[in-house]
Structure 1
Amino acid sequence: MSERGGTGRVGRPRSRGAADDGRTPRQEILDAAAALFSESGFAATSTRAIADRVGIRQASLYHHFAGKDEILLELLEASVRPTLDVVDALRSRAPDAAGALHALVVVDVGTLLAGPLGIPALYVAPEVQQPRFEQFRAHRRQLGAVYAELVRDVAPAGHPVDADVLGQVCLHLVEMTASLPSAPQLPEQVAAACLGACGVTGDQLAAAVAGGRAVRDALAAPAAAGRH
Protein backbone atom coordinates (compact mmCIF):
# COMPACT_ATOMS: atom_id res chain seq x y z
CA MET A 1 0.00 0.00 0.00
CA SER A 2 1.39 3.37 -1.01
CA GLU A 3 1.69 6.27 1.40
CA ARG A 4 2.35 8.79 -1.32
CA GLY A 5 -1.14 10.19 -1.59
CA GLY A 6 -2.08 13.04 -3.91
CA THR A 7 -1.07 12.40 -7.48
CA GLY A 8 1.50 9.77 -6.52
CA ARG A 9 4.17 11.51 -8.56
CA VAL A 10 7.74 11.25 -7.42
CA GLY A 11 9.08 14.65 -6.48
CA ARG A 12 12.50 16.05 -7.06
CA PRO A 13 14.94 16.19 -4.19
CA ARG A 14 15.49 19.58 -2.62
CA SER A 15 18.05 21.76 -4.31
CA ARG A 16 20.77 21.59 -1.69
CA GLY A 17 22.86 18.44 -1.92
CA ALA A 18 23.65 17.94 1.73
CA ALA A 19 22.82 19.16 5.21
CA ASP A 20 24.89 21.82 6.90
CA ASP A 21 26.67 19.08 8.85
CA GLY A 22 27.73 17.30 5.66
CA ARG A 23 24.99 14.66 5.56
CA THR A 24 23.33 13.93 2.24
CA PRO A 25 19.53 14.18 1.98
CA ARG A 26 19.42 10.37 1.89
CA GLN A 27 21.33 10.13 5.17
CA GLU A 28 19.13 12.80 6.73
CA ILE A 29 16.08 10.69 5.83
CA LEU A 30 17.66 7.59 7.37
CA ASP A 31 18.56 9.46 10.57
CA ALA A 32 15.12 11.02 10.88
CA ALA A 33 13.40 7.70 10.24
CA ALA A 34 15.56 5.93 12.81
CA ALA A 35 14.67 8.52 15.43
CA LEU A 36 10.95 8.33 14.67
CA PHE A 37 10.91 4.53 14.55
CA SER A 38 12.54 4.51 18.00
CA GLU A 39 10.21 7.18 19.41
CA SER A 40 6.88 6.09 17.93
CA GLY A 41 7.39 2.62 16.50
CA PHE A 42 7.58 1.59 12.87
CA ALA A 43 3.85 1.14 12.31
CA ALA A 44 2.97 4.55 13.76
CA THR A 45 5.56 6.43 11.70
CA SER A 46 4.47 7.70 8.29
CA THR A 47 6.66 8.81 5.43
CA ARG A 48 5.04 12.24 5.81
CA ALA A 49 6.29 12.40 9.41
CA ILE A 50 9.78 11.42 8.26
CA ALA A 51 9.74 14.07 5.54
CA ASP A 52 8.52 16.69 8.01
CA ARG A 53 11.33 15.80 10.42
CA VAL A 54 13.90 16.27 7.64
CA GLY A 55 12.23 19.41 6.29
CA ILE A 56 11.44 18.15 2.80
CA ARG A 57 8.26 17.44 0.87
CA GLN A 58 6.89 13.92 1.22
CA ALA A 59 7.17 13.48 -2.54
CA SER A 60 10.88 14.28 -2.35
CA LEU A 61 11.43 11.40 0.07
CA TYR A 62 10.25 9.02 -2.64
CA HIS A 63 13.08 10.20 -4.86
CA HIS A 64 15.41 8.37 -2.45
CA PHE A 65 13.30 5.50 -1.06
CA ALA A 66 10.28 3.55 -2.27
CA GLY A 67 8.75 3.62 1.20
CA LYS A 68 9.16 2.85 4.89
CA ASP A 69 10.13 -0.79 4.34
CA GLU A 70 13.09 0.17 2.19
CA ILE A 71 14.23 2.75 4.74
CA LEU A 72 14.02 0.31 7.63
CA LEU A 73 15.76 -2.45 5.68
CA GLU A 74 18.67 -0.15 4.87
CA LEU A 75 18.94 0.88 8.53
CA LEU A 76 18.89 -2.74 9.67
CA GLU A 77 21.39 -3.90 7.08
CA ALA A 78 23.76 -1.06 7.96
CA SER A 79 23.87 -2.41 11.51
CA VAL A 80 25.22 -5.83 10.47
CA ARG A 81 26.69 -5.73 6.96
CA PRO A 82 29.87 -3.72 7.73
CA THR A 83 30.83 -6.29 10.36
CA LEU A 84 29.99 -9.27 8.15
CA ASP A 85 32.03 -7.78 5.34
CA VAL A 86 35.25 -8.02 7.39
CA VAL A 87 34.62 -11.30 9.24
CA ASP A 88 36.65 -13.48 6.88
CA ALA A 89 39.62 -11.12 6.85
CA LEU A 90 39.41 -10.72 10.60
CA ARG A 91 39.43 -14.46 11.28
CA SER A 92 42.22 -15.15 8.81
CA ARG A 93 44.51 -12.57 10.41
CA ALA A 94 43.83 -13.42 14.05
CA PRO A 95 46.49 -15.38 15.94
CA ASP A 96 43.77 -17.46 17.64
CA ALA A 97 40.02 -17.58 18.29
CA ALA A 98 40.26 -15.39 21.39
CA GLY A 99 42.00 -12.62 19.44
CA ALA A 100 39.44 -13.01 16.65
CA LEU A 101 36.55 -12.75 19.12
CA HIS A 102 38.03 -9.64 20.70
CA ALA A 103 38.48 -8.01 17.28
CA LEU A 104 35.00 -9.05 16.16
CA VAL A 105 33.31 -7.51 19.21
CA VAL A 106 35.23 -4.23 18.90
CA VAL A 107 34.42 -3.98 15.18
CA ASP A 108 30.78 -4.91 15.74
CA VAL A 109 30.34 -2.36 18.54
CA GLY A 110 31.93 0.23 16.26
CA THR A 111 29.45 -0.64 13.50
CA LEU A 112 26.50 -0.09 15.83
CA LEU A 113 27.84 3.09 17.39
CA ALA A 114 28.51 4.54 13.93
CA GLY A 115 24.82 4.39 13.06
CA PRO A 116 21.57 5.49 14.73
CA LEU A 117 21.70 4.10 18.26
CA GLY A 118 18.11 2.86 18.45
CA ILE A 119 18.30 0.36 15.60
CA PRO A 120 19.01 -2.82 17.65
CA ALA A 121 15.80 -2.19 19.60
CA LEU A 122 13.92 -2.61 16.31
CA TYR A 123 15.26 -6.14 15.75
CA VAL A 124 12.37 -7.58 17.76
CA ALA A 125 9.67 -5.38 16.23
CA PRO A 126 6.79 -7.46 14.81
CA GLU A 127 7.26 -5.92 11.37
CA VAL A 128 10.88 -7.08 11.20
CA GLN A 129 9.70 -10.67 11.64
CA GLN A 130 7.80 -10.45 8.36
CA PRO A 131 9.14 -12.13 5.18
CA ARG A 132 10.05 -8.81 3.60
CA PHE A 133 12.86 -8.42 6.15
CA GLU A 134 14.22 -11.96 5.82
CA GLN A 135 17.41 -10.66 4.18
CA PHE A 136 18.33 -8.81 7.36
CA ARG A 137 17.35 -11.68 9.64
CA ALA A 138 19.50 -14.05 7.59
CA HIS A 139 22.49 -11.73 7.90
CA ARG A 140 21.98 -11.39 11.65
CA ARG A 141 21.78 -15.20 11.96
CA GLN A 142 25.00 -15.42 9.97
CA LEU A 143 26.69 -13.00 12.38
CA GLY A 144 25.35 -14.94 15.36
CA ALA A 145 26.80 -18.14 13.90
CA VAL A 146 30.24 -16.50 13.70
CA TYR A 147 30.02 -15.58 17.38
CA ALA A 148 29.02 -19.13 18.26
CA GLU A 149 31.88 -20.64 16.26
CA LEU A 150 34.46 -18.41 17.89
CA VAL A 151 33.03 -18.96 21.37
CA ARG A 152 33.13 -22.71 20.81
CA ASP A 153 36.87 -22.45 20.15
CA VAL A 154 37.50 -19.99 22.99
CA ALA A 155 35.53 -21.44 25.92
CA PRO A 156 37.39 -24.16 27.84
CA ALA A 157 36.13 -27.72 27.98
CA GLY A 158 33.48 -28.10 30.63
CA HIS A 159 32.20 -24.54 30.35
CA PRO A 160 28.71 -24.61 31.90
CA VAL A 161 27.04 -22.67 29.06
CA ASP A 162 26.42 -24.14 25.62
CA ALA A 163 28.44 -22.42 22.88
CA ASP A 164 25.36 -21.45 20.89
CA VAL A 165 23.82 -19.78 23.94
CA LEU A 166 27.10 -18.12 24.90
CA GLY A 167 27.51 -16.83 21.35
CA GLN A 168 24.05 -15.26 21.52
CA VAL A 169 24.91 -13.75 24.90
CA CYS A 170 27.93 -12.05 23.33
CA LEU A 171 25.89 -10.87 20.35
CA HIS A 172 23.17 -9.40 22.58
CA LEU A 173 25.75 -7.75 24.81
CA VAL A 174 27.16 -6.04 21.73
CA GLU A 175 23.69 -4.98 20.61
CA MET A 176 22.89 -3.38 23.96
CA THR A 177 26.07 -1.27 23.90
CA ALA A 178 24.19 1.85 22.80
CA SER A 179 22.17 1.73 26.03
CA LEU A 180 25.27 1.54 28.24
CA PRO A 181 26.73 4.64 29.89
CA SER A 182 29.52 6.23 27.89
CA ALA A 183 32.90 5.00 29.06
CA PRO A 184 36.51 5.18 27.87
CA GLN A 185 37.30 2.46 25.36
CA LEU A 186 33.77 1.10 25.60
CA PRO A 187 34.15 -1.29 22.62
CA GLU A 188 37.20 -2.92 24.22
CA GLN A 189 35.40 -3.17 27.55
CA VAL A 190 32.49 -4.96 25.89
CA ALA A 191 34.98 -7.27 24.17
CA ALA A 192 36.62 -8.04 27.50
CA ALA A 193 33.19 -8.77 28.99
CA CYS A 194 32.45 -11.26 26.22
CA LEU A 195 35.80 -12.98 26.68
CA GLY A 196 35.29 -13.02 30.44
CA ALA A 197 31.92 -14.73 29.93
CA CYS A 198 33.80 -17.37 27.96
CA GLY A 199 36.24 -17.91 30.84
CA VAL A 200 39.13 -15.93 29.38
CA THR A 201 40.83 -13.85 32.07
CA GLY A 202 44.27 -12.79 33.30
CA ASP A 203 47.18 -13.41 30.95
CA GLN A 204 44.92 -15.10 28.42
CA LEU A 205 42.75 -12.00 28.26
CA ALA A 206 45.79 -9.75 27.86
CA ALA A 207 46.97 -11.93 24.96
CA ALA A 208 43.52 -11.82 23.36
CA VAL A 209 43.42 -8.03 23.64
CA ALA A 210 46.84 -7.77 21.99
CA GLY A 211 45.80 -10.18 19.26
CA GLY A 212 42.55 -8.35 18.61
CA ARG A 213 44.32 -5.01 18.34
CA ALA A 214 46.86 -6.46 15.93
CA VAL A 215 44.06 -7.78 13.73
CA ARG A 216 42.30 -4.42 13.65
CA ASP A 217 45.55 -2.63 12.86
CA ALA A 218 46.15 -5.02 9.96
CA LEU A 219 42.65 -4.42 8.62
CA ALA A 220 43.01 -0.66 8.95
CA ALA A 221 46.38 -0.45 7.19
CA PRO A 222 45.13 -1.06 3.59
CA ALA A 223 42.31 1.46 4.08
CA ALA A 224 44.73 4.06 5.38
CA ALA A 225 47.10 3.42 2.49
CA GLY A 226 44.26 3.86 0.02
CA ARG A 227 43.58 7.38 1.28
CA HIS A 228 47.08 8.57 0.39
Structure 2
Amino acid sequence: MGKGAGVGRPRASGAAANRPDARQAVLDAAGELFTGAGYAATTTRAIAERAGLRQASLYYHFPAKEDILAALLAETVRPSLALAARLVAGSAPVEVRLWALAYADIGLLGGARHNLGALYLLPEVGSPNLARFRAERADLKAAYGKLVAAAGIAPEAVATRTDLVFGLVESIAVTRRDNPSLDVEAHIREGADGVVRLVGLAEPTEELRAAAHTLLATLPD
Protein backbone atom coordinates (compact mmCIF):
# COMPACT_ATOMS: atom_id res chain seq x y z
CA MET A 1 0.00 0.00 0.00
CA GLY A 2 1.34 3.44 -0.91
CA LYS A 3 2.15 5.76 1.95
CA GLY A 4 -0.80 7.94 2.80
CA ALA A 5 -3.16 5.95 0.56
CA GLY A 6 -6.79 6.74 1.13
CA VAL A 7 -6.18 9.75 3.40
CA GLY A 8 -9.18 12.04 3.42
CA ARG A 9 -11.24 9.84 1.06
CA PRO A 10 -14.22 7.73 2.13
CA ARG A 11 -14.38 4.19 0.83
CA ALA A 12 -17.12 3.47 -1.65
CA SER A 13 -18.91 0.37 -2.77
CA GLY A 14 -22.19 -0.68 -4.37
CA ALA A 15 -23.94 2.28 -6.02
CA ALA A 16 -21.03 4.58 -5.26
CA ALA A 17 -18.71 2.36 -7.28
CA ASN A 18 -20.95 2.90 -10.31
CA ARG A 19 -20.71 6.69 -10.20
CA PRO A 20 -19.46 8.25 -13.43
CA ASP A 21 -16.47 9.66 -11.56
CA ALA A 22 -15.45 6.36 -9.94
CA ARG A 23 -13.60 5.15 -13.04
CA GLN A 24 -11.79 8.48 -13.34
CA ALA A 25 -10.90 8.36 -9.65
CA VAL A 26 -9.20 5.02 -10.28
CA LEU A 27 -7.26 6.45 -13.23
CA ASP A 28 -6.19 9.52 -11.26
CA ALA A 29 -5.01 7.40 -8.36
CA ALA A 30 -3.20 4.95 -10.62
CA GLY A 31 -1.54 7.73 -12.60
CA GLU A 32 -0.17 9.21 -9.39
CA LEU A 33 1.04 5.88 -8.04
CA PHE A 34 2.43 4.47 -11.29
CA THR A 35 4.49 7.61 -11.92
CA GLY A 36 5.47 8.00 -8.27
CA ALA A 37 5.91 4.65 -6.56
CA GLY A 38 6.32 2.77 -9.84
CA TYR A 39 4.08 0.40 -11.78
CA ALA A 40 5.48 -2.86 -10.42
CA ALA A 41 5.40 -1.63 -6.83
CA THR A 42 1.79 -0.43 -7.02
CA THR A 43 -0.96 -2.86 -6.08
CA THR A 44 -4.60 -2.66 -7.07
CA ARG A 45 -5.37 -2.44 -3.36
CA ALA A 46 -3.26 0.71 -3.07
CA ILE A 47 -4.98 2.20 -6.13
CA ALA A 48 -8.45 1.41 -4.74
CA GLU A 49 -7.64 2.96 -1.38
CA ARG A 50 -6.20 6.08 -2.98
CA ALA A 51 -9.33 6.35 -5.13
CA GLY A 52 -11.64 5.89 -2.15
CA LEU A 53 -13.04 2.58 -3.38
CA ARG A 54 -13.04 -1.00 -2.20
CA GLN A 55 -10.77 -3.26 -4.21
CA ALA A 56 -13.77 -5.22 -5.50
CA SER A 57 -15.24 -1.96 -6.79
CA LEU A 58 -12.05 -1.22 -8.71
CA TYR A 59 -12.37 -4.57 -10.46
CA TYR A 60 -15.86 -3.53 -11.62
CA HIS A 61 -14.15 -0.96 -13.85
CA PHE A 62 -10.79 -2.64 -14.48
CA PRO A 63 -10.43 -6.43 -14.22
CA ALA A 64 -6.63 -6.21 -13.92
CA LYS A 65 -3.91 -3.67 -13.19
CA GLU A 66 -2.74 -3.89 -16.79
CA ASP A 67 -6.18 -2.69 -17.91
CA ILE A 68 -5.65 0.47 -15.88
CA LEU A 69 -2.27 0.97 -17.52
CA ALA A 70 -3.85 0.52 -20.95
CA ALA A 71 -6.49 3.15 -20.19
CA LEU A 72 -3.89 5.63 -18.95
CA LEU A 73 -1.71 5.13 -22.00
CA ALA A 74 -4.70 5.60 -24.28
CA GLU A 75 -5.17 9.06 -22.77
CA THR A 76 -1.69 10.02 -23.95
CA VAL A 77 -2.20 9.18 -27.62
CA ARG A 78 -5.85 9.16 -28.74
CA PRO A 79 -6.50 12.92 -28.60
CA SER A 80 -3.34 13.57 -30.63
CA LEU A 81 -4.20 10.79 -33.08
CA ALA A 82 -7.64 12.30 -33.72
CA LEU A 83 -6.09 15.74 -34.20
CA ALA A 84 -3.40 14.35 -36.50
CA ALA A 85 -6.00 12.84 -38.81
CA ARG A 86 -7.64 16.25 -39.26
CA LEU A 87 -4.32 18.03 -39.76
CA VAL A 88 -3.00 15.53 -42.30
CA ALA A 89 -6.18 16.00 -44.32
CA GLY A 90 -6.06 19.77 -43.98
CA SER A 91 -5.00 22.38 -46.50
CA ALA A 92 -3.07 24.83 -44.32
CA PRO A 93 0.66 25.20 -45.04
CA VAL A 94 2.47 22.08 -43.90
CA GLU A 95 4.69 23.99 -41.47
CA VAL A 96 1.59 25.36 -39.75
CA ARG A 97 -0.02 21.93 -39.50
CA LEU A 98 3.19 20.32 -38.24
CA TRP A 99 3.75 23.01 -35.62
CA ALA A 100 0.12 22.71 -34.49
CA LEU A 101 0.34 18.94 -34.11
CA ALA A 102 3.63 19.05 -32.23
CA TYR A 103 2.39 21.84 -29.96
CA ALA A 104 -0.81 19.98 -29.07
CA ASP A 105 0.92 16.62 -28.71
CA ILE A 106 3.74 17.89 -26.49
CA GLY A 107 1.14 19.82 -24.54
CA LEU A 108 -0.89 16.67 -23.96
CA LEU A 109 2.14 14.86 -22.54
CA GLY A 110 3.58 17.82 -20.68
CA GLY A 111 0.43 19.38 -19.33
CA ALA A 112 -1.18 16.29 -17.83
CA ARG A 113 -1.46 16.13 -14.07
CA HIS A 114 0.80 13.08 -13.97
CA ASN A 115 3.79 12.38 -16.21
CA LEU A 116 2.13 9.49 -18.03
CA GLY A 117 4.55 9.65 -20.96
CA ALA A 118 7.19 8.21 -18.65
CA LEU A 119 5.15 4.99 -18.62
CA TYR A 120 6.21 4.39 -22.24
CA LEU A 121 9.50 3.07 -20.87
CA LEU A 122 7.85 0.26 -18.89
CA PRO A 123 8.61 -3.27 -20.11
CA GLU A 124 4.90 -3.99 -19.65
CA VAL A 125 4.17 -1.80 -22.68
CA GLY A 126 5.27 -4.76 -24.80
CA SER A 127 2.48 -6.95 -23.39
CA PRO A 128 -0.01 -8.45 -25.86
CA ASN A 129 -2.78 -6.74 -23.91
CA LEU A 130 -1.32 -3.36 -24.86
CA ALA A 131 -1.20 -4.07 -28.58
CA ARG A 132 -3.91 -1.49 -29.26
CA PHE A 133 -1.91 1.27 -27.59
CA ARG A 134 1.19 0.33 -29.56
CA ALA A 135 -0.82 0.36 -32.80
CA GLU A 136 -2.33 3.76 -32.04
CA ARG A 137 1.06 5.18 -31.15
CA ALA A 138 2.44 3.81 -34.43
CA ASP A 139 -0.48 5.42 -36.29
CA LEU A 140 0.33 8.76 -34.66
CA LYS A 141 3.96 8.44 -35.70
CA ALA A 142 2.82 7.61 -39.25
CA ALA A 143 0.76 10.80 -39.28
CA TYR A 144 3.87 12.79 -38.41
CA GLY A 145 5.59 10.95 -41.24
CA LYS A 146 2.93 12.10 -43.71
CA LEU A 147 3.47 15.71 -42.70
CA VAL A 148 7.23 15.27 -42.90
CA ALA A 149 6.87 13.84 -46.40
CA ALA A 150 4.57 16.71 -47.37
CA ALA A 151 7.31 19.12 -46.37
CA GLY A 152 9.35 17.93 -49.34
CA ILE A 153 11.85 15.75 -47.51
CA ALA A 154 13.64 13.29 -49.80
CA PRO A 155 11.78 9.95 -49.65
CA GLU A 156 14.82 8.09 -48.37
CA ALA A 157 15.13 10.52 -45.45
CA VAL A 158 11.49 10.62 -44.35
CA ALA A 159 11.70 7.68 -41.94
CA THR A 160 14.80 9.00 -40.18
CA ARG A 161 13.45 12.54 -39.96
CA THR A 162 10.16 11.20 -38.60
CA ASP A 163 12.03 9.23 -35.94
CA LEU A 164 13.80 12.42 -34.87
CA VAL A 165 10.58 14.44 -34.80
CA PHE A 166 8.68 11.82 -32.83
CA GLY A 167 11.56 11.42 -30.41
CA LEU A 168 11.66 15.17 -29.80
CA VAL A 169 7.93 15.29 -29.13
CA GLU A 170 8.00 12.44 -26.62
CA SER A 171 11.19 13.63 -24.93
CA ILE A 172 9.15 15.93 -22.71
CA ALA A 173 8.35 12.91 -20.52
CA VAL A 174 12.01 12.38 -19.64
CA THR A 175 12.65 16.11 -19.32
CA ARG A 176 9.67 16.51 -17.04
CA ARG A 177 10.80 13.55 -14.93
CA ASP A 178 14.33 14.93 -14.54
CA ASN A 179 13.26 18.56 -14.03
CA PRO A 180 10.13 18.85 -11.86
CA SER A 181 10.32 22.66 -12.03
CA LEU A 182 10.24 22.62 -15.83
CA ASP A 183 8.56 25.59 -17.53
CA VAL A 184 6.16 23.35 -19.41
CA GLU A 185 4.60 26.01 -21.62
CA ALA A 186 8.01 27.25 -22.76
CA HIS A 187 9.09 23.67 -23.47
CA ILE A 188 5.94 23.00 -25.50
CA ARG A 189 6.50 26.09 -27.64
CA GLU A 190 10.21 25.48 -28.13
CA GLY A 191 9.54 21.81 -28.84
CA ALA A 192 7.10 22.67 -31.62
CA ASP A 193 9.64 25.14 -33.01
CA GLY A 194 12.27 22.39 -32.90
CA VAL A 195 10.06 20.00 -34.84
CA VAL A 196 9.67 22.52 -37.65
CA ARG A 197 13.42 23.12 -37.70
CA LEU A 198 14.17 19.39 -37.75
CA VAL A 199 12.09 19.00 -40.88
CA GLY A 200 14.03 21.82 -42.52
CA LEU A 201 11.10 24.17 -42.95
CA ALA A 202 11.21 27.91 -42.48
CA GLU A 203 12.43 29.27 -39.16
CA PRO A 204 9.38 29.49 -36.87
CA THR A 205 7.99 32.99 -36.59
CA GLU A 206 5.28 34.61 -34.51
CA GLU A 207 3.12 34.62 -37.62
CA LEU A 208 3.54 30.86 -38.03
CA ARG A 209 2.75 30.24 -34.38
CA ALA A 210 -0.30 32.49 -34.52
CA ALA A 211 -1.56 30.69 -37.61
CA ALA A 212 -1.11 27.32 -35.91
CA HIS A 213 -2.99 28.47 -32.82
CA THR A 214 -5.79 29.79 -35.02
CA LEU A 215 -5.90 26.48 -36.85
CA LEU A 216 -6.16 24.54 -33.59
CA ALA A 217 -8.92 26.82 -32.36
CA THR A 218 -11.00 26.44 -35.49
CA LEU A 219 -10.75 22.68 -36.01
CA PRO A 220 -13.98 20.82 -35.23
CA ASP A 221 -14.05 18.70 -32.07
Q: Is the contact made by 1:90 and 1:215 (CA closer than 8 Å) also made in structure 2?
A: no
| Alpha-carbon offset, residue 210 of structure 1 | 4.1
Q: Hey, what does 1:146 align to over in structure 2?
A: 143
Higher helix share: 2
Separation in 2, partners of 1:16, 1:37: 23
Matched position secondary structure for 1:82: helix
Q: Hey, what does 1:189 align to over in structure 2?
A: 190
| Alpha-carbon offset, residue 72 of structure 1 | 0.7
Separation in 2, partners of 1:29, 1:150: 36
Residue 85 (structure 1) aligned with residue 86 (structure 2): no
Q: Hey, what does 1:48 align to over in structure 2?
A: 45
| Alpha-carbon offset, residue 138 of structure 1 | 0.5
Separation in 2, partners of 1:206, 1:152: 24
**TM-score calculated relative to the size of structure 2:** 0.79
Residue 168 (structure 1) aligned with residue 169 (structure 2): no
Q: Hey, what does 1:6 align to over in structure 2?
A: none
Q: Is the contact made by 1:109 and 1:187 (CA closer than 8 Å) also made in structure 2?
A: yes
Identify unmatched segments of 5+ residues in structure 2.
1-12
| Structure 1 residues 82 and 71: CA distance shift in structure 2, 3 A | same
RMSD after superposition? 2.7
Identify unmatched segments of 5+ residues in structure 1.
1-10, 19-23, 224-228
Separation in 1, partners of 2:86, 2:153: 25
Q: Hey, what does 2:35 align to over in structure 1?
A: 38
**TM-score calculated relative to the size of structure 1:** 0.76
Matched position secondary structure for 1:79: helix
Matched position secondary structure for 2:60: coil
The residue identity in structure 2 corresponding to 1:216 is: L
Instruction: List, as ranges, runs of 4+ consecutive aligned residues in structure 1 with deviation greater than 3 Å.
Output: 13-18, 113-117, 155-158, 183-186, 204-208
1:90-122 superposed Cα distances (whole Å, 9 cap, x missing partner): 233342221111111122123224534322111
Q: Pairwise mapping of residues 76-225 of structure 1 onto structure 2 (< 5 A)?
A: 76-154=73-151, 162-178=157-173, 179=176, 181-202=182-203, 205=205, 208-219=208-219, 222=220
Separation in 1, partners of 2:149, 2:17: 53
The residue identity in structure 2 corresponding to 1:166 is: R
| Alpha-carbon offset, residue 205 of structure 1 | 4.7
Q: Report the count of equivalent residues.
A: 203
Q: Is the contact made by 1:195 and 1:205 (CA closer than 8 Å) also made in structure 2?
A: no
1:158-189 superposed Cα distances (whole Å, 9 cap, x missing partner): 9xx93222222222222232516115454332
1:38-60 superposed Cα distances (whole Å, 9 cap, x missing partner): 22332222100111222322112
